[in-house]
């Protein structure tokens, strides 16, 4: 069998359980890359993009199983394999970025996830939530075993929420504008400066504090670069 | 971001190749490519073009902007202006390096092109260092950087962002009781 025989469908995804909007595979990969860059450059952990991750995994698994059925040395197989490797790289890097931030900010991440509203999007995937809880428990156990139990009785607890620094939302970020935004407030750096507003034209690039643009990153109106 | 990751993104740009083989359409997850017929130009992403070139299955056609006269004009303009001029490609530096390293035999006057692109890069990076310095010393809160490429931004990224964040930390500690006074120390 050749790749041509095996790949006869038009490749569009979500044909069965279409809870989400139907996206072309190309759009899906673009969404993954956007999520990857945003997560890489954002000072805080962003919303979990589980649907994108799951769909990409599906596409990769589907393509890989097709490749298994093809005879060795098929001309197209190596091209497909190269593409799969590239997508896997982005996916792994994205998930690693998130894990790094979960480890760095673990008490805050858990607190935020526990206190979010019913309809609010998840900060963590189920697996990430389990990981964060384990990390918290392990850190507590470790600190207790290594130091705390030897402290005087009134100093044997540590409030991890206070002890672990929060993400610095005032970090500066670079961004590219996808949807025009008007009247974005720029806060002054020094006391003798005044605040002012800027318009973000579509396609323009800016350097600005993350705090002001955090909701725009969430909504997809800007892309961190 | 690692420069190799910027290069990874640059490899998605499309380039024209002339294949010496036949293959019908390939349906990649990211889009359709081909069909491939010997001698007929076809657009493919750079990552595939480089792979095919290495396996001696194609000739790469240099992009329109990779031309000595055009680049000389751009270099002159860049040297004249104080601001950043528009770039021939958002990935001009990476594409020049990749294409000249793997397909210089397909590119006329490759050495001159390499020098011209390096000159343009050097001029722009010098301007970038000046802008970054003035941004930090004037304690600006916002900058518009339309014509900068990702590779150029990435070159200055850690220096600029770390300095700005460090300054913010020092300033906010001047005001006792300011919120979010707890930052990671590096």
CATH number of B64-186: 1.20.58.1020
User: Which percentage of chain B shows pLDDT scores above 90?
Assistant: 84
At B49 the pLDDT is 98
Going through A70-132 in order, the beta strands assigned E by DSSP cover none
Measured between CA atoms, how close is A153 to chain B, in angstroms? 27
The A residues from 9 to 28 touching B (CB cutoff 8 Å) are 11, 25-26, 28
Distance from C-alpha of B91 to C-alpha of B151, rounded to nearest angstrom:
7
Please tell me which residue, A206 or A192, carries the higher pLDDT value.
A206
Distance from C-alpha of A100 to C-alpha of A103, rounded to nearest angstrom:
5
Q: What is the per-residue pLDDT across A146-175, written as a single tens digit (0 to 9) for each?
A: 999 999 999 898 999 999 999 999 999 999
* Whole-prediction pTM: 0.90
CATH number of B1-61: 3.40.5.50
Determine whether the interchain pair A166/B182 forms a contact, defined as Cβ–Cβ distance below 8 Å. yes
User: Is residue B167 within 8 Å of residue B139, measured between CB atoms?
Assistant: yes
Q: What tokens does A207 get?
A: 């350097």
Q: How confident is the model at residue A190 (pLDDT cuts 50, 70, 90)?
A: confident
Has residue A130 got a pLDDT over 70?
A: yes
At A2 the pLDDT is 53
Measured between CA atoms, how close is B112 to chain A, in angstroms? 31
At A3 the pLDDT is 53
At A209 the pLDDT is 93
Chain A CB contacts of B47 under 8 Å are: 82, 86
- Measured CA distances, B96 to B16, B46, B58, B149, B185 (Å): 14, 11, 18, 14, 39
Q: What is the per-residue pLDDT across A63-93, written as a single tens digit (0 to 9) for each?
A: 999 998 887 778 899 999 999 999 999 999 9
Measured between CA atoms, how close is A206 to chain B, in angstroms? 4
Measured between CA atoms, how close is B169 to chain A, in angstroms? 9
* Rounded mean pLDDT, A42-59: 96
At B169 the pLDDT is 84
Delimit the domains of chain B by residue range. Answer: 1-61, 64-186
ipTM of the complex: 0.91
Chain A CB contacts of B139 under 8 Å are: 189-190, 193
The enclosing H or E element of A106 equals: helix A106-114
Q: How confident is the model at residue B176 (pLDDT cuts 50, 70, 90)?
A: low
Q: How confident is the model at residue A9 (pLDDT cuts 50, 70, 90)?
A: very low
Determine whether the interchain pair A171/B21 forms a contact, defined as Cβ–Cβ distance below 8 Å. no
At B175 the pLDDT is 64
Query: Cα A8–A13–A14 angle (5° rounding)?
Result: 130
User: Average per-residue pLDDT in chain A?
Assistant: 89
Chain B CB contacts of A172 under 8 Å are: 160-161, 164-165
A92, A97, A174: best to mutate for the B interface, most B CBs within 10 A? A174
User: What count of CB pairs under 8 Å joins A to B?
Assistant: 109
Has residue B95 got a pLDDT over 80?
A: yes
Has residue B184 got a pLDDT over 60?
A: no
């Amino acid at each position: 069998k050749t790749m041509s025989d095996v790949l006869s469908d038009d490749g569009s995804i979500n044909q069965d359980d279409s809870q989400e909007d139907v996206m072309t595979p190309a759009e899906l990969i673009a969404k993954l890359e956007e999520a990857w860059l945003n997560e890489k450059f954002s000072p805080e952990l962003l919303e979990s993009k589980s649907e994108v991750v799951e769909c990409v995994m599906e596409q990769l698994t589907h393509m890989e199983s097709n490749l298994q059925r093809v005879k060795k040395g098929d001309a197209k197989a190596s091209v497909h394999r190269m593409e799969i490797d590239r997508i896997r790289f982005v996916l792994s890097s994205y998930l690693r970025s998130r894990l790094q931030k979960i480890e760095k900010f673990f008490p805050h991440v858990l607190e935020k996830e526990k206190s979010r509203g019913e309809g609010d999007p998840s900060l963590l995937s189920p697996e990430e939530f389990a990981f964060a809880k384990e990390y918290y428990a392990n850190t507590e156990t470790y600190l207790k075993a290594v130091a705390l139990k030897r402290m005087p009785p009134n100093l044997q607890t540590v409030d991890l929420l206070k002890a672990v620094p929060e993400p610095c939302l005032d970090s500066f970020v670079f961004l590219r504008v996808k949807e025009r935004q008007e009247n974005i407030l720029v806060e002054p750096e020094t006391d003798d400066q005044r605040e002012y507003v800027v318009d973000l034209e579509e396609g323009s690039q800016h350097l600005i504090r993350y705090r002001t643009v955090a909701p725009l990153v969430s909504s997809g109106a800007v892309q961190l670069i | 971001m690692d420069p190799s990751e910027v290069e990874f993104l640059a490899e998605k740009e499309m380039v024209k190749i002339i294949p010496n083989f036949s293959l019908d359409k390939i349906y990649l997850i990211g889009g359709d490519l081909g069909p491939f017929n010997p001698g007929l130009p076809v657009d493919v992403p750079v990552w595939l073009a480089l792979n095919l070139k290495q396996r001696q299955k194609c000739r790469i056609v240099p992009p329109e902007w990779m031309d000595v006269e055009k680049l000389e004009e751009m270099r002159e303009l860049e040297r004249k202006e104080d601001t950043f001029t528009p770039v021939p490609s958002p990935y001009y530096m990476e594409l020049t390096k990749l294409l000249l390293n793997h397909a210089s035999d397909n590119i006329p006057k490759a050495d001159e092109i390499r020098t011209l692109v390096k000159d343009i890069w050097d001029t722009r990076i010098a301007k970038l260092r000046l802008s970054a310095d003035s941004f930090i010393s004037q304690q600006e809160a916002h900058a518009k950087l339309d014509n900068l490429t990702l590779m150029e931004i990435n070159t200055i990224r850690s220096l600029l962002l770390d300095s700005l964040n460090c300054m913010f930390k020092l300033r906010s500690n001047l005001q006792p009781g300011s919120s979010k006074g707890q930052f990671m120390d590096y």
